[in-house]
Chains A and B, each alone.
Chain A
């Protein structure tokens, strides 16, 4: 088997606070192969962004990686020094964040920002960098890239800015792209454009993409595999049609029931009782057990199991049967 582009192995993140140690990410493991899009879903506070930040070494102190390994193309990157990590970031890992306006420097032209990244990571001169910057803008679908390269971010619309951010993430030709809620701030029609762009680039470049989002619809259309997170833990992972179509973990099942869907008509939405527990007060055993309709005594005490199910995994003692 080929080495996966990104391999996250039992990754844990902890935040020491006055009230004790919080674990926003707890023993999360997954691989992303070349040319694959892994969708990471979960509600707010599930630890999706924290996992992404841990992978790229951008955890804000006092949060720190407390266990596990992150390997990029077979090389460990979780124990690098900040200086070494800076070389990896941008060069081997591209990043796209939610808000395109805050990810761009408002005082520099688009061209300067792209050229700077290209010159830093690839051994090319200024003229060549500019040429590549125009090519990168062309690739993400900015019309008349040659004329617009000297524009400032404020002269672009939201969708265009997000394209520029994607161009920035791509220009050093990374093997992994981490996209954290890349379409959340965008309108439906622009969102469709950005998703199509991400998919095309993943296919053409063979880059691996970790797509973090809370929108199940976006995941369904974009991702090859999906990882569902709950309270910092991986609840379920597997091929997208399997996880969304026939969820094994009761939490995924509940999420699907709570999503309004055309085919369900106007029936009442299924509710998951309660709310996600706070990190400081996680229940013992399975973190979902207080809200779970299938919970039994075993769930309250025993640590999470992992049930292999075909190409997927679910962390549940009593996984759902086929509906």
Chain B
């Protein structure tokens, strides 16, 4: 069953200078398209991962899914309900189904609140019963019940991220959006948090939207991976297919550029160029200026995301790169 359905999602930010500067310096308005016409579905009880480099719009999509940002165009439907159009009572019902885990566990916990209050907040805010809840959740995420009376500064980074996980679990959600949940953590701590997230998924039947820039982590966690480039979904496939047979030249470049643990003395030809300015993206396919197999059509026309095999890819010459 499809839990989250995202259709033609677009988000444009106005990054113009203040109007007075614009008038005096005769500058035009500047619009940054962070997410451009992205559509995908997330099956219930699966892990959907979004990967991409900085500026690819992965966090913006995450924020729109939880309703922290309004889409400029397109819709996010969760269990058939569009958060932006739903009535108050419907939103109340859906909201507790969605939770989020952020990247920086030092910034996402209020330093003046006790851990007990932090964890029970999502339930308390809706007037639910919070007795013993924090203690139970803390034990589920591998901390001890006594920790409920402590403050966030008494914990290490990995333990704080566990508290964030406990908070996300408090309202018994169905979907958890994880925005780079382990990027701020060391390898050994990252392994603990990733294992915890896998266990909880099996135990509670959770669905994750997993946002990361780390290909190996994504490969380890995801059931389905969407690759973003400059706000566009360029390829979507299962991890096995994506890593063994990438169809889009960008995906291929990304996989080859990522450092390999067993790549002793590997000599890679580094990719050319950098991510273009999202305010003035290239015409046609956004990747064509860096693409080794681009043809004239790529700069004129934006390739649609077409089904190919079991995945989808937005490239006129998909799979032709060797």
Identify the A interface with B (CB < 8 A): 43-44, 157, 159-160, 187-193, 195-196, 214-218, 220-221, 240-241, 244-245, 254-263, 266, 268-272, 275
Contacts and interface: CB of A to CB of B under 8 A. Distances in A.
A268 B188 contact: no
B275 interface: yes
Most buried by A among B157, B159, B268: B268
A192 B271 contact: yes
Contacts of B253: 189
A43 B257 contact: no
Contacts of B129: none
A188 B213 CA distance: 8
Interface stretch (B8-16, B73-81, B92-100, B191-199): B191-199
B275 A187 contact: yes
A272 B187 CA distance: 10
A262 B186 contact: no
A193 B257 CA distance: 9
Contact of B53 (A187, A221, A240, A254): A187
Given A189-B257, A245-B262, A255-B187, 6 more contacts: A188-B258, A193-B270, A255-B188, A256-B261, A258-B190, A260-B219
Contacts of A266: 220
B261 A220 contact: yes
B274 interface: yes
Q: Is the interface of A mostly helix, strand, loop or mixed?
A: helix
A229 to B, nearest CB: 12
B260 A43 contact: no
B198 A268 contact: yes
B283 interface: no
B195 A220 contact: no
A275 B263 contact: no
Interface of B: 53-54, 156-159, 186-192, 194-195, 198, 213, 215-217, 219-220, 243, 253-254, 257-266, 268-271, 274-275
A168 B195 CA distance: 42
Contacts of A193: 270-271
Top 10 A-B pairs ranked by shortest CB distance?
A217-B259, A258-B191, A260-B220, A43-B186, A192-B257, A187-B53, A269-B191, A193-B270, A196-B270, A192-B270
A261 B156 CA distance: 25
Contacts of A214: 186-187
A260 B221 CA distance: 9
Most buried by B among A157, A218, A259: A259
Contact of A159 (B191, B266, B274): B274
A269 B220 contact: yes
Contacts of B198: 268
Contact of B263 (A159, A220, A268, A269): A220
Given A159-B274, A192-B271, A261 B261 contact: yes
A269 B194 contact: yes
B274 A190 contact: yes
A268 B194 CA distance: 9
Nearest to B199: A268
A193 B243 CA distance: 21
A85 B74 CA distance: 61
A275 B158 contact: yes
A269 B195 contact: yes
B188 A43 contact: yes
A217 B191 contact: no
Contact of A262 (B53, B243, B268): B243
Contacts of A270: 191
Contacts of B186: 43-44, 214
Contacts of A217: 216, 258-261, 263
B158 A263 contact: no
Contacts of B219: 260, 262
A259 B257 contact: no
A188 to B, nearest CB: 5
A257 B263 CA distance: 17
Contacts of A275: 156, 158-159, 189
A139 to B, nearest CB: 15
B160 to A, nearest CB: 12
Nearest to B273: A189
Contacts of B271: 189, 192-193
